[in-house]
Amino acid sequence: MNRMRMQLLMALVGLLAAALPLAMMTWLSWHHAANTAQAQLRETAERALERADRSYLQALTALQAMQHSPLSPCSPEHIQLMQTRVVTTSSVDQISYFQQGRVRCTSWGRPVAALAPGQPDHTTADGATLQLDQQPRAPYGRCMLSLRLGDYEALMDPYHFVDLIDTRDIRIAIATPDGRLIAQQSLPDQALLQSLLREPRSGDAGTLLFASARSEAWLAIVTTPRTGMGGIFLQQAWVLVPISLLVGAAAIACTIALSRRRYSLKGELSHAIRRNELYVVYQPIIELETGICVGAEALVRWRRADGSEVRPDLFIPLAEASGLVGAITDEVIQRVIVDMRDLLVGDRSAHIAINLAPEDMISGRALKVIAAKLAGTGIANQQIWLEATERGFMDIEKARAVISAARHSGHAVAIDDFGVGYSNLQYLQQLPLDALKIDKSFIDAIGTDSATSPVTGHIIDMAKTLGLFVVAEGVETEDQLAYLHSRQVEFAQGWLFAKALPREEFIAFHKRRQELYGAAREDMQNTQRQPGQ
């Protein structure tokens, strides 16, 4: 009997060992298909926002041009100009001219009666007003969208806002940010649409998948039948199911272990911030021409209560993904001010560079925190440099606004780890940066046969052409230093000079470099000031 029970138990374990991976991989296939479909929907929603922006900006540009027209209102030439604007602006079907609150003429000519406009439903950030369901001044057979600016009004077919190409079974709706519907492609579930207008979100509604995207100007909602997930699921299943029979329970155990570890580490990090387990070390920055230490890059570290250290490449991405990076940034700013106040006030030529997370470069929140923390400390804004990796500049328009505000306040702004992400010449040309930091991987390639070795020189030349300071990261050898000297790179940091140092050690290091190289720097400056030199 015991033997039979053991055999039965082993059989059950064997069945579970075979069935559980299969079930897991099947679920993963379906889950991945759902995520892929949702990602495609979100991408379509973002495209719809861009389409709405283009249609709106085309109409706004036409109205702005009409505002500056020197022609006599409602003269034949004036009406012809309005007609030309309609023909050359794809999103506009009619332009009307207002005088004393009534329509006096349109691109179709003079109206039979001087019509008065209705009340606007929404005012855009540009000062233009939108009116929904507006009757056209000519027989289109359907209501139009009215955009009015000053004395002129553009009537637009709402379909211009949703006519994306290659959307197949996807249905799109565009609304104002406060949920006023502008146009839709006959969404199959109007009750769901009204709910999403009130509370934009992404998810699954039985037979439909839906996603929302919102900008400062528009709200986009897209839906698609769940049946579209079938093809994606089959593609994944044919690959993942056979693999599941091989990896089995080991893969499941690994997934569960990693999931628990990640959740545990996230909870630990949240507690660590509250318990002040984070601290800051300072990586010296050396001016290569003189050898003096001009400042440091502030680097956050995490030491647990038991004394063990958690690597930054583990907890920083976790903080960014879990919404904790803002609290870490605030802690670093506070610690830098407490640690370095005396040094910075005593040496106005010194600076400390603070790394900002991508969300800080998009929102600009950190600038307000820095301004509040610096108030009354005696530290000059110019002594706090800001650094952000390339991901922080993906949204160029928002990044440009934040960088301009930072530089207006006196902060220098550098792009960090250049060359390892998405950055290209477009970023450097469009963003008002001060400095470029070359990633350590390119410095390591100096003097080697690496494929990336020639890239270092190109990066330096590109930065200098754009008028940017260059900071080389991870300098570890004399050969690298000699190369950087030969290319007239301004600044460097790395183990050749010093590792990242605690507060007291960095202050002592800074003082030693000043004593060793400060006199040479003054001699050089005096020589440069002598006549005829």
Predicted local confidence at residue 278, as pLDDT = 93
Confidence bin at 269 (pLDDT 50/70/90)? confident
Predicted local confidence at residue 287, as pLDDT = 95
As given in the structure block, the two tokens for residue 392 are 């922080």
Find tokens 């990796």 and name the residue: 389
- Which residues, 6 or more positions from 48, have their beta carbon under 8 angstroms from its beta carbon? 161, 162, 164, 172, 174, 213, 220, 222
Predicted local confidence at residue 8, as pLDDT = 57
Predicted local confidence at residue 108, as pLDDT = 85
As given in the structure block, the two tokens for residue 473 are 């990261």
Is the per-residue pLDDT at 259 higher than 50? Answer: no
As given in the structure block, the two tokens for residue 459 are 């990066």
Exposure pattern of 215-225 as b/e (b: 16+ CB <10 Å)? eebbbbbbbbe
The whole-number average pLDDT for the span 413-424 is 72
Highest mean pLDDT of the ranges 66-75, 335-344, 447-456: 335-344
Predicted local confidence at residue 355, as pLDDT = 93
Identity at 124, one-letter amino acid code? T
DSSP-based three-state secondary structure for 147: strand
Find tokens 């509250």 and name the residue: 274
Q: What is the pLDDT of residues 41-94, one digit of tens each?
A: 888 888 888 888 888 899 999 999 999 999 999 999 999 999 999 999 988 989
Cα 181 to Cα 194: distance, rounded to the nearest angstrom: 9
Is the per-residue pLDDT at 1 higher than 60? Answer: no
Exposure pattern of 235-263 as b/e (b: 16+ CB <10 Å)? ebbeebeeebeeebeebbeeeeeeeeeee
Predicted local confidence at residue 85, as pLDDT = 93
Contact 339, 378 (CB under 8 A): no
Cα 483 to Cα 443: distance, rounded to the nearest angstrom: 10
Predicted local confidence at residue 300, as pLDDT = 95
Contact 295, 351 (CB under 8 A): yes
Helix (H) or strand (E) holding 175: strand 171-175
Predicted local confidence at residue 453, as pLDDT = 72
Q: In what order do the strands lie in the sheet with 122-123?
A: 102-106, 94-99, 152-156, 144-149, 129-134, 122-123
Cα 154 to Cα 51: distance, rounded to the nearest angstrom: 17
Is the per-residue pLDDT at 238 higher than 70? Answer: no
Please choose, from the candidates 364, 369, 373, the residue with its C-alpha nearest in 3D space to the C-alpha of residue 403: 364
Predicted local confidence at residue 244, as pLDDT = 58
Q: Which residue has the higher pLDDT, 294 or 143?
A: 294
Cα 297 to Cα 387: distance, rounded to the nearest angstrom: 9
The DSSP string of 81-140 is HHHHHHHH-TT-SEEEEEETTEEEEETTB--SS-PPP---SEE-TTS-EEEEEEPPSS--
DSSP-based three-state secondary structure for 376: coil
Pairing of strands 122-123, 351-356: unpaired
Least confident of 34-43, 99-108, 134-143, 348-357: 134-143
Find tokens 């270092």 and name the residue: 456
Please choose, from the candidates 472, 469, 464, 422, the residue with its C-alpha nearest in 3D space to the C-alpha of residue 443: 472
Predicted local confidence at residue 322, as pLDDT = 84
Cα 324 to Cα 285: distance, rounded to the nearest angstrom: 28
Predicted local confidence at residue 7, as pLDDT = 44
Predicted local confidence at residue 48, as pLDDT = 85
DSSP state of 228: G
Contact 297, 285 (CB under 8 A): yes
As given in the structure block, the two tokens for residue 252 are 């499941």
Contact 470, 449 (CB under 8 A): no
Contact 26, 238 (CB under 8 A): no
Predicted local confidence at residue 522, as pLDDT = 63
Confidence bin at 246 (pLDDT 50/70/90)? low
DSSP state of 391: G
Q: What is the pLDDT of residues 201-221, one digit of tens each?
A: 888 877 788 888 888 888 888
Q: What is the pLDDT of residues 278-336, one digit of tens each?
A: 999 999 999 999 999 999 999 999 998 888 899 998 899 888 888 889 999 999 999 99
As separate numbers, helices (DSSP H) first and strands (DSSP E) second, the chain gives 14, 20
Predicted local confidence at residue 369, as pLDDT = 94
Percent of the chain with pLDDT over 90: 36
Is the per-residue pLDDT at 466 higher than 60? Answer: yes
Cα 103 to Cα 531: distance, rounded to the nearest angstrom: 73
Find tokens 């897209």 and name the residue: 222
Is the per-residue pLDDT at 233 higher than 60? Answer: no
Q: What is the pLDDT of residues 154-191, one digit of tens each?
A: 998 888 777 776 667 788 888 888 888 888 877 878 88
Predicted local confidence at residue 416, as pLDDT = 86
Percent of the chain with pLDDT over 70: 78
Contact 293, 283 (CB under 8 A): no
The whole-number average pLDDT for the span 493-509 is 96
**How high is the mean pLDDT of the chain?**
82
Q: What is the pLDDT of residues 422-445, one digit of tens each?
A: 555 666 788 899 999 998 988 998
Predicted local confidence at residue 280, as pLDDT = 96
